[in-house]
Chains A and B, each alone.
Chain A
């Protein structure tokens, strides 16, 4: 019952080949537009940025225009979008490279043994270091990790293994979502309110910072652990149940080890994420120039807060030097902080690789 009118014309030959731009057309267009933009840029004395911006605009017009003339409208749209997407990528790489380069070039000259091993106690003018802030950052982040990792992992176990479909499970899922969206400064204010109510209005201590950071860290740990636990095939659990293994032993001996690599990766990334948090620590852990090893007593400086105060209260520039000493210290501390974060990120990847289930 195929209708005859559906049959296309027998004589009509297929038109497979169409005029197409050569493969090197984008490259040619790019070279030409960069050159073309160079002319007005040179005549009018524009900067390199202006020259490249004009080149980009010209390129985005020229290549699709050429394609329009040769290949037709659909292909022109396709080429325009391809060009836009490539340039989005190109432009976005600029700030990252720029930022890393700035931090490294400004910070590298500051870093010395003295910078890493001295605190700011009794320092006026130049000199001094970040020792107290490093210790503070390690202690506060460590305490935050101690609080959040067990809570986060067990909450994820509850969500995946016990609370599936229950009212409580849905509530917790929802609240973890809410927690993900808590602005970091609000977490700080919460910790402050809590400790101020408990210990009086002048209370500032590292533990407050740890509580604030846990609030930010728990949802990340829950999310990544949950995801990893869900990846463990149900067959594996059933195989274990079928052997008569109780549920908690199935979880602790079968499910968790299978997901371990992913969980450790997630936890490491969560630490990397909160170690650079500034706002909550600024509010509740405060700032000091001395080294403080006690999380529960007195203010405690941390690297991010150190950077902030070095930037906002840089001191007075010695005569003949353009920048006050605080700025250099801020760059140095920023470099140290970035290195720590990057190392943690790399570590997370390596751990993920090592613990990934072996094949064969």
Chain B
């Protein structure tokens, strides 16, 4: 057994740092750790207060009998409203994003972008008020028209609501609310498409739309996906607009235009919260936890898609 002769190298000593430096970096690190702690807190406290909500007396879950059957229709309603909103919003959002980044005359593009940002700034409770008092009334004829012409589709089986305060209207309001988010992000990635890529396409004799398909969309694909997913996350979690527009009942139905509409998790919390007993409060917090897990999964999936695309692009 030979003895190593080499002198064991000392770990490089940390350079001395001034007090100010240590203090400053300490504060910065502490701020970062606060964020960690805050999120851990969200999980912990929601779990502490929410878990008892899984096993309350049957009467708490009225009109259902246990937690799963209570939260099931709510999740269904949440997804239904969010998907509806997404279907309505995505084509418009991408269209407007392209309009701003590539189609509009420069003099129009800047104000349009500003107007869309303003749309994002309108508080959700104002959207709710407008949706319930104004939009819903005007959508009644549309409900009737859909019932008259498309009632063979399960979505429009009717009978149409006379107030217009249906999941269909809620979906439209949600669509208007998530439109600015999707627009803002995709407009940014569209605009970041390298000029050279676009000119390469044009120099090959591409029309504007062909240029968009050849150079802009491939470049922006992952950004578009994450924009849509973020919009979906927002739609899933949106509370007030749905709570104010919908006259909800805990049912599962594909019918979008009738008087009985499924509630969403968030809107159900908002509307049952005021009269909740402590037992019911636990149940509501538990549904909130489910919603959190759900939006988390969506955001996570979005990130994964983006990451995968980046990896593929950099291969």
Direct contact of A and B (CB under 8 A): yes
- A-side interface residues toward B, CB under 8 Å? 47, 74-75, 77-78, 81-82, 84-89, 91-93, 95-96, 98-99, 102-103, 150-155, 157-159, 161-163, 168-169, 171-172, 175-187, 189-190, 192-194, 196-197, 201, 215, 218, 222, 246-249, 251-252, 272-273, 275-279, 282-283, 304, 307-308, 311-312, 327, 330-331, 334, 337-338, 341-342, 345
Q: Are A248 and B20 in contact (CB under 8 A)?
A: yes
Q: Are B28 and A194 in contact (CB under 8 A)?
A: no
Other-chain contact of A99, B126, B236, B288 (Cβ < 8 Å) = B126
With A248-B20, A278-B240, A311-B244: A186-B291 Cβ-Cβ less than 8 Å: yes
With A248-B21, A248-B24: A95-B210 Cβ-Cβ less than 8 Å: no
B104 shortest CB reach to chain A, Å = 7
Residues of chain A lying within 8 A (CB to CB) of residue B209: 77-78, 81-82
Interface of B is mostly: helix
- A110 vs B298: C-alpha distance when bound (angstroms): 42
Residues of chain A lying within 8 A (CB to CB) of residue B295: 181-183, 186
Q: Told that A189-B49, A201-B278, A282-B240 touch, could you supply 16 new A-B pairs with CB distance under 8 A? A: A78-B208, A86-B99, A88-B99, A99-B122, A99-B126, A154-B27, A162-B28, A168-B29, A177-B299, A189-B289, A193-B46, A197-B49, A249-B20, A279-B240, A283-B273, A311-B244
Residues of chain A lying within 8 A (CB to CB) of residue B29: 158, 162-163, 168
- B108-157: which residues lie under 8 A (CB-CB) from chain A? 112, 115-119, 121-130, 132-135, 141
Residues of chain B lying within 8 A (CB to CB) of residue A180: 230, 299
- A186 vs B39: C-alpha distance when bound (angstroms): 12
Q: Are B35 and A222 in contact (CB under 8 A)?
A: yes
A-B contact pairs, 6 of them (CB 8 A): A183-B291, A185-B270, A189-B284, A215-B38, A252-B24, A273-B121
Number of interface residues of B (CB under 8 A): 89
Of B67-75, B90-98, B194-202, the segment with at least 4 beta carbons within 8 Å of chain A is B90-98
Q: Are B46 and A338 in contact (CB under 8 A)?
A: no
Of all chain A residues, which has the CB nearest B241? A278
Residues of chain B lying within 8 A (CB to CB) of residue A178: 39, 296, 299
With A78-B207, A247-B21, A248-B23: A197-B31 Cβ-Cβ less than 8 Å: no
- B170-212: which residues lie under 8 A (CB-CB) from chain A? 176, 179, 207-210, 212
Q: Are A154 and B133 in contact (CB under 8 A)?
A: no
Residues of chain B lying within 8 A (CB to CB) of residue A277: 123-124
- B21-41: which residues lie under 8 A (CB-CB) from chain A? 21, 23-25, 27-36, 38-39, 41
**Is B87 interfacial (CB-CB < 8 Å)?**
no
A90 shortest CB reach to chain B, Å = 9
Of all chain A residues, which has the CB nearest B211? A78
Q: Are B46 and A102 in contact (CB under 8 A)?
A: no
Other-chain contact of B270, A47, A187, A282 (Cβ < 8 Å) = A282
**Is B285 interfacial (CB-CB < 8 Å)?**
yes
Of all chain B residues, which has the CB nearest A201? B278
A167 shortest CB reach to chain B, Å = 12
Of all chain B residues, which has the CB nearest A284? B273
Q: Are B32 and A197 in contact (CB under 8 A)?
A: no
Residues of chain A lying within 8 A (CB to CB) of residue B128: 308, 311
Q: Are A157 and B119 in contact (CB under 8 A)?
A: no
Residues of chain B lying within 8 A (CB to CB) of residue A279: 124, 239-240, 266, 269-270
**Is B77 interfacial (CB-CB < 8 Å)?**
no
Other-chain contact of A103, B130, B210, B230, B281 (Cβ < 8 Å) = B130
Q: Are B118 and A185 in contact (CB under 8 A)?
A: no
Residues of chain A lying within 8 A (CB to CB) of residue B46: 186, 189-190, 193
A261 shortest CB reach to chain B, Å = 18
Other-chain contact of B269, A77, A95, A185, A345 (Cβ < 8 Å) = A185
Residues of chain B lying within 8 A (CB to CB) of residue A215: 38, 42
Residues of chain B lying within 8 A (CB to CB) of residue A345: 117-118, 121
B290 shortest CB reach to chain A, Å = 10
Most buried by B among A183, A252, A345: A183
Other-chain contact of A248, B25, B35, B48, B125 (Cβ < 8 Å) = B25
B74 shortest CB reach to chain A, Å = 12
With A183-B238, A190-B41, A193-B49: A82-B208 Cβ-Cβ less than 8 Å: yes
- B247-289: which residues lie under 8 A (CB-CB) from chain A? 266, 269-271, 273, 278, 281, 284-285, 288-289
Of all chain B residues, which has the CB nearest A281? B125
Residues of chain B lying within 8 A (CB to CB) of residue A248: 18, 20-21, 23-25
- A89 vs B112: C-alpha distance when bound (angstroms): 9
Q: Are B130 and A102 in contact (CB under 8 A)?
A: yes
Residues of chain B lying within 8 A (CB to CB) of residue A272: 121
**Is B233 interfacial (CB-CB < 8 Å)?**
yes
Residues of chain B lying within 8 A (CB to CB) of residue A82: 103, 208-209
With A89-B104, A183-B291: A251-B239 Cβ-Cβ less than 8 Å: no
Residues of chain A lying within 8 A (CB to CB) of residue B219: none
Other-chain contact of A85, B31, B38, B45, B98 (Cβ < 8 Å) = B98
Residues of chain B lying within 8 A (CB to CB) of residue A222: 35
Other-chain contact of B124, A47, A98, A276 (Cβ < 8 Å) = A276
Q: Are A89 and B95 in contact (CB under 8 A)?
A: yes
- A247 vs B21: C-alpha distance when bound (angstroms): 6
Residues of chain B lying within 8 A (CB to CB) of residue A172: 32, 35-36
Residues of chain B lying within 8 A (CB to CB) of residue A163: 29, 32
Q: Are A78 and B288 in contact (CB under 8 A)?
A: no
Q: Are A278 and B132 in contact (CB under 8 A)?
A: no
Q: Are A246 and B21 in contact (CB under 8 A)?
A: yes
Residues of chain B lying within 8 A (CB to CB) of residue A175: 35-36, 39
Q: Are A93 and B115 in contact (CB under 8 A)?
A: yes
Residues of chain B lying within 8 A (CB to CB) of residue A304: 123, 125, 240
Q: Are B103 and A184 in contact (CB under 8 A)?
A: no
